[in-house]
Chains A and B, each alone.
Chain A
Amino acid sequence: MTSQCPFLIYRKEHGEQSFDTARAFCTATDSFVQPMRADICNNRYGLTHTTDCEIYDAHQSTLDTDVSGAETE
């Protein structure tokens, strides 16, 4: 299990949105993540992106596992 979802990045800007501090951003949906959902993205509190995120379920087939190996468990 990786320490966070492979779709997760942290960024300060996207489109017209900008923040002082980098925030959780989901590259699967191309949008900033709600703070509560960010705990799933970061695999906190026993949550995991593979079991607890329906967005991950819908987009996992788009991951390039051969290149990144990010989904090796």
Chain B
Amino acid sequence: MTLGAGRQQRIATLLRERREGVLDHWVAAVLNTVRGRTTQAELRGQLAELYELVVQAMGEEDGTAAGELSAALQELSRTRARQGFSPSETAVSVFGLKDAVLHEIEAGGGTGVVVYREFASFSKDIDDLGLLTFETYARTREQVIADQAEQLLELSTPVVKLWEGIVGVPLVGTLDSARTQVVMESLLQTLVDTGSEHAVIDITGVPAVDTEVAQHLLKTVVAARLMGAECVISGIRPQIAQTIVALGIEFGDIVTKATLADALAYALERSGVRVGAG
């Protein structure tokens, strides 16, 4: 990408000579659209950097500055995407330079058709830059979503130590095969690492227990048993309990408790800890 391609002499001169005026205008216009999410000083810093690169890109032969400019724009777009800006807000920030330049042309008495022809061509270049931020935005969002999905997978399956010898897994959300695999592995690993003999699997946050989820739970309990640990399942809400019964799922001799607290009390008792009521 090169900017201006030597066809925008007057615009280039204007950008160099009336830097402060144009920049002031640009910042003021953009500030309106980003209010509250970035400070004026921060915004001015960002735009001043882009401005410098635009000026350099218009005056260069080899495209070095243009390359830096597109890198800077992509970076801006990525930061903004992560800050929750909409893609059009970011693109509009870039387009704002056109208005600022036009304002300066008019303030300088707007001399003749040549400068407007140049402006049209400059305007097209800026549009391209704006679109670049759009594309980057879309790609960044996809990345953010993919990252979050992965983080959620890990985040939603923490195994926590509840007491000496007792670990707990609060399950939240949909339990599919992939997640159950993660849960099972981290539970078994934590049992080994902490030398625990009791585990509480709390399903308060699981919206539905169907045969697949039930099967996964049963497998986890059996695997823990093979390692010498006993599991208690807690947090089976009334609607889930009724559904499980209607489905015909049997938890066999697996101990179930209404609440996590009940399950913990049970596990404490089993491991010989006495919880005094005072």
Query: Do A and B share a complex?
Result: no
